[in-house]
Amino acid sequence: MNKLDNIMIKYISALKVLETQLEIINDDFKYIKKYNPIEHIKTRIKSADSIMNKLYKDNLDFTLENITTYVNDIVGVRIICASLADVYELIEILRNSKIIHIINEKDFIKVPKPSGYRSYHLIVEVPVELINGQEYVKAEIQIRTLAMDLWASLEHKLKYKSDYCTEEISKRLIAIGDELNEVDLEMLGLINREKRLKLLDEGGE
């Protein structure tokens, strides 16, 4: 087993820690609030080729030290929520976690990328117990709504899997992103209205 295989074991272990913690959060949320905030979770671990390409793109040598220091998204977790309310509530839960430690946040929901991309990105670290002791391992978590995930999937197919994405198509993608965001905001309004009606009804009993 080479050195890269050795270092990848800790990332595989970190993914298991994250999956377990997110499952616990979802189960606890369901027990307390009677529904699941997480629709589904997608995970992946970068291949050696992807790690190498990322380092070379940043003019860095392919070394174990550079991998550990500069590649934060070897472990990737994408969490899909039904609504914006669930996205931000889940983020707040993660901020208070004693196991998942947030080290960086980027809110591409409130401030989308120029392409129209929306999502909430977290760089986190989790403790992994290895034979030689405990080590904190970094990972990236992306949290988005169903609508945002639909848009991201469409954009990836049109822009990265095709050689024929014109400027007109790119502009329309941005417009569709704005339209889907309006749907998310309208859904959030309906959820908040339902909560207010429920509180009024409970207060009147």
Answer whether 26's CB lies under 8 Å from 36's CB. yes
Q: Of the residues 140, 182, 194, 205, which is catalytic?
A: 140
Helix residue ranges, H only, the chain: 3-33, 48-57, 64-70, 84-95, 146-155, 167-204
87 near 35, Cβ under 8 Å? Answer: no
Rounded Cα distance, 2 and 55, in Å: 19
Which residues make Cβ contacts (< 8 Å) with residue 11, sequence separation at least 6?
Answer: 45, 74, 75, 137, 139
Query: For residues 5-31, b (16+ Cβ closer than 10 Å) or e, as one string?
Result: eeebebbebbbebbeebbeebbeebee
What crossing angle do the helices spanning 167-204 and 84-95 adopt, rounded to 10°? 80
Active-site residue, 140 included:
yes
Cα 176 → chain centroid: 21
Residue 63 CA to residue 74 CA, distance in Å, equals: 14
Q: Which residues are marked as active site?
A: 140
